[in-house]
Amino acid sequence: MHVPDGFLDVPTSVATGVVAVAGLGLALRGARRELDDRTAPMAGLVATFVFATQMLNFPVGAGTSGHLLGGALAAVLVGPWTGLLCVSVVLIVQSLLFADGGITALGTNITLMGIVGVLVGWAVFRGLQIVLPKSLALVPPIAAVAALVSVPVASLAFVGLYAVGGTAPIPLESLATAMLGWHTLIGIGEALITGLVVGSVTAVRPDLVYGARRTLRARELEIRVTQGAPG
Amino acid sequence: MRTRTLIITGTLVALLLAGVVSFYASESPDGLNRVAEDQGISATEKEHAARNSPLAGYDAEGIDNDRFSGGVAGVAGAAIVLVLAGGLAYAVRRRDNHVTDSENRPVRAGEH
Could you read off the pLDDT of A56-103 as tens digits, one per residue? 999 999 899 999 999 999 999 999 999 999 999 999 999 999 999 999
Nearest CA in chain A to B86: A44
Interface of B with A in 17-46 (CB under 8 A): 17-18, 21-22, 25-32, 34-36, 38-41, 43-46
Domains of chain A: 10-227 (1.10.1760.20)
Tell if the CB–CB gap between B18 and A67 is shorter than 8 Å.
no
Establish if A39 touches chain B: CB-CB under 8 angstroms. yes
What are the beta bridge partners of residue A8?
A166
Q: Which of A158, A132, A157 is nearest to A145 (CA)?
A: A132
Pseudo-torsion of CA B79, A67, A73, A51, nearest 10°? 10
Question: In whole angstroms, what is the distance from residue A123 CA to residue A121 CA?
Answer: 6
Q: Do B88 and A179 touch (CB under 8 A)?
A: no
A173 touches chain B (CB under 8 A): no
pLDDT one-digit tens code per residue, B66-94: 999 999 999 999 999 999 999 999 999 99
Instruction: Quote the DSSP letter at residue A207.
Output: G
CA distances from B80 to A157, B5, B15, B49, B83 (A): 29, 21, 11, 20, 5
Taking contacts as CB-CB distances below 8 angstroms, the residues of chain B near A33 are 94
In this complex, is the C-beta atom of A168 within 8 Å of any C-beta atom belonging to chain B?
yes
Best mutation target, B22, B37, B41, to test chain A (most A CBs within 10 A): B41
**pLDDT level of residue B96 (50, 70, 90 thresholds):** low
Helix (H) or strand (E) holding A66: strand A64-66
- Is ipTM over 0.90? yes
Closest CA of chain A from B89, distance in Å: 5
| DSSP structure class, residue A36 | -
Give the length of chain A: 231
Residue B95: the pLDDT is 84
3-class SS of residue A103: coil
Q: Residues A82, A121: contact at Cβ < 8 Å?
A: no
Contacts made by residues B90-98, CB under 8 angstroms, sequence distance 24+: B90/A40, B92/A28, B92/A31, B92/A32, B92/A35, B92/A85, B93/A32, B93/A35, B93/A36, B93/A37, B93/A39, B93/A40, B94/A32, B94/A33, B94/A35, B94/A36, B95/A37, B97/A36
Interchain pair B81, A58: CB under 8 A: no
Mark yes or no for CB contact A45/B10 under 8 Å: yes
B15 and A52 in contact by Cβ < 8 A?
A: yes
A84 inside 8 A of chain B by CB: no
State how far residue A57 is from chain B, nearest Cα, in angstroms.
5
| Shortest alpha-carbon distance between residue A178 and chain B (Å) | 6
Nearest CA in chain B to A44: B86
Nearest to A55 among B40, B45, B58 (CB): B58
Q: What is the pLDDT of residue A224?
A: 56
Average pLDDT over residues B21-46: 96
What pLDDT score does A62 carry? 85
**A217: confidence class by pLDDT, cuts 50, 70, 90:** confident
Q: Cβ B88–A43 below 8 Å, yes or no?
A: yes
The average confidence (pLDDT) of chain B is: 90
Is the pLDDT reported for residue A179 higher than 80?
yes
Q: Is A56 helix (H, G, I), strand (E, B) or coil?
A: coil
Look up the pTM and report it: 0.91
B108 touches chain A (CB under 8 A): no
CA–CA min distance A13, chain B (Å): 14
Q: What is the pLDDT of residues B100-111, one digit of tens each?
A: 565 556 666 555
- For A114-127, how does the pLDDT look when each residue is reduced to its tens digit (9 = 90+)? 999 999 999 999 99
